[in-house]
Structure formats: structure tokens, C-alpha cells
């Protein structure tokens, strides 16, 4: 049995600054969940963080408790967190939706359309992984239900997943994910916090690599942006190494985790 923790980074709606939407999943063998939870707890204690929730954006942007912690210490924490992930037999799958490509800008896709389109590709990958292992999995998603409106989004995702299962049945394919997604409060789940960390740093690396080009472009250049990014780039070790070795990113261990255990898919 595997536990699959899913979180997102970036807005699934069209945004003048955020050009990507990233949905990531870390896939953890059931017997590794408690050891990961305990190691994360010890790491928080080592950095005098108490029992706070680890969020990639808060660490990077010095928000909440991290605003009192030096940049050097925060970077050290991030590297230790990825060392924790690398030390365990986890698989990391991510799907990147590039919202600024010409082919997408011509379509009238809602934020929810983009989320569901990305979600389906991610679930396809996870189903393939579970089938290859001849194992079942439980899907745990960071709940967006901080308000009535976002709670309705969770409900609609369950209905979308129901449709996904119906399609699998029509195609006479076995589903390996047990029942429907379970929505959890990420502050209580180490796996959910680490999924957030991965999603955020993949999003951030892409924004640095491609997003800055857009922000610094002239108005004429922006009309041709964003360039169509070849999906096969993400299967290249050289591209992943260059993406995460950028001086403003400096996370070569994240590239190693992706290459060793999973993959990044790019949409469209």
C-alpha cells in the first residue's frame, strides 16, 4: 500500500505574474510514513520551529515564523528537507501547466478546467506507477476548504474523480487508487508538507527560468511569449540539472529526486 500526498503551487487561473501551475505528488510506501513524520519532527526541533507547518513559500519568502530566521538558515533548512526526501524510497511526480503559451491563450479555460486537466494527467501517472508495483494507493490532498467557496471546489474535484473512475471502467481498466481523494489538513501530515515543498520549488525554478524572461521582455516580445516549451525537455537529465542548478535555485538534490524516482510532465 502507498500513500500519495498531493499539493499545488501557482495559480490555476490566468495571472500576469504566475505563468505556471504545478501539481505535485509524493508517493510513499505505507511503512515509511511514520519514519518520515518522525524525522521531520526532529528536523523542526533542530531548527527551533516547534510544530509549525512547513510551507515552501513561507520559508523562501521569510513569512510567518520564518521572517525572524536568516536567509542562510532558511536555505539550510530547505536543503535538509530535500535530504530527508532523498533518503527515503519516495517517488515524486509533477505536472506543469504552462498557461502563457499561444495555444492556451486562444482557449477559454477556467481556473477549474486547468486544475482538472492537470489533475487527470497526474492521476494517470500515479495509476501507472501503482499498476507497475501491483499495489493500491490512498490519495491525500491538501484541503482547499478554508472557506465555503473553496470547500465547494473540493466537492467538485470528488465529482470529477468519480467521472475519471467511470471512464476507467468503460475502458475496462483497473483503478489502483482506493475510493476517492481524502482531503486533509496539511499541518498534520508530513507527506502533505513535503509535497508542498516540492511543488513550490518546481514552480519557483520554472518562474526563474522562464517567467523572468516574460517580465523583462518588451511589449512586442510579450506578444510572442511564452515560447512553446517542448514537453520532452522535462525528460532530459541535462535540462533538469540546469533548471535546478540555477544560482537563484541551487537545488541539485531536487533534480536527483525527480530523475531517480519520478518525472515531470508538461501540459499542454
pLDDT band at 109 (very low <50, low <70, confident <90, very high): confident
What pLDDT score was predicted for residue 209?
87
Looking at residue 232, what DSSP letter applies? Answer: G
Strand partners, 27: 4, 91
Q: Is the pLDDT of residue 74 over 50?
A: yes
Instruction: Using the predicted structure, report yes or no on whether residue 221 has a pLDDT greater than 60.
Output: no
User: Which position has the higher pLDDT, 127 or 144?
Assistant: 127
Model confidence pTM above 0.85: yes
- The answer to whether the CB of 26 falls within 8 A of the CB of 2 is no
User: What is the chain's mean pLDDT, rounded?
Assistant: 87
Which tens digits make up the pLDDT trace of 28-72?
999 999 999 999 999 999 999 998 999 999 999 999 999 999 999
Domains along the chain?
2-262 (3.30.420.10)
| Distance (Å, whole) CA 119 – CA 92 | 15
**Angstrom distance (rounded) from CA 22 to CA 42:** 29
Q: Residue 220: enclosing H or E segment and its boundaries? A: helix 219-222
d(CA 81, CA 85) in angstroms, rounded, equals: 7
pLDDT recorded at residue 147: 46
Amino acid at each position: 500500500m502507498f500513500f500519495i500526498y498531493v499539493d499545488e503551487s501557482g495559480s490555476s487561473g490566468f495571472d500576469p505574474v504566475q505563468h505556471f501551475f504545478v501539481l505535485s505528488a509524493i508517493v510513499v510506501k505505507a511503512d515509511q510514513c511514520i519514519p518520515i513524520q518522525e524525522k521531520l519532527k526532529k528536523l523542526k526541533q533542530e531548527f527551533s520551529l516547534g510544530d509549525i507547518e512547513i510551507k515552501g513559500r513561507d520559508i523562501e519568502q521569510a513569512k510567518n515564523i520564518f521572517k525572524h530566521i536568516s536567509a542562510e538558515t532558511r536555505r539550510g533548512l530547505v536543503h535538509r528537507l530535500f535530504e530527508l526526501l532523498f533518503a527515503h524510497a519516495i517517488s515524486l511526480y509533477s505536472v506543469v501547466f504552462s498557461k502563457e503559451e499561444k495555444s492556451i491563450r486562444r482557449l477559454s479555460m477556467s481556473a477549474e478546467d486547468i486544475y482538472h486537466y492537470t489533475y487527470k494527467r497526474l492521476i494517470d501517472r500515479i495509476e501507472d506507477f501503482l499498476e507497475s508495483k501491483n499495489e493500491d494507493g490512498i490519495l491525500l490532498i491538501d484541503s482547499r476548504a478554508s472557506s465555503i467557496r473553496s470547500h465547494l471546489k473540493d466537492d467538485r474535484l470528488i465529482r470529477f474523480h468519480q467521472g475519471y473512475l467511470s471512464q476507467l471502467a468503460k475502458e475496462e481498466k483497473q483503478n489502483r487508487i482506493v475510493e476517492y481523494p481524502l482531503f486533509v489538513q496539511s499541518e498534520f501530515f508530513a507527506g502533505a508538507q513535503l509535497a508542498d515543498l516540492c511543488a513550490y520549488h518546481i514552480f519557483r525554478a520554472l518562474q526563474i527560468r522562464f517567467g523572468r524572461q516574460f517580465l523583462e521582455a518588451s511589449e512586442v516580445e510579450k506578444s510572442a511569449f511564452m515560447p512553446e516549451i517542448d514537453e520532452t525537455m522535462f525528460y532530459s537529465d541535462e535540462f533538469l540539472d540546469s533548471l535546478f542548478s540555477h544560482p537563484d535555485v541551487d537545488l541539485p538534490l531536487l533534480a536527483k529526486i525527480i530523475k531517480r524516482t519520478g518525472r515531470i510532465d508538461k501540459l499542454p
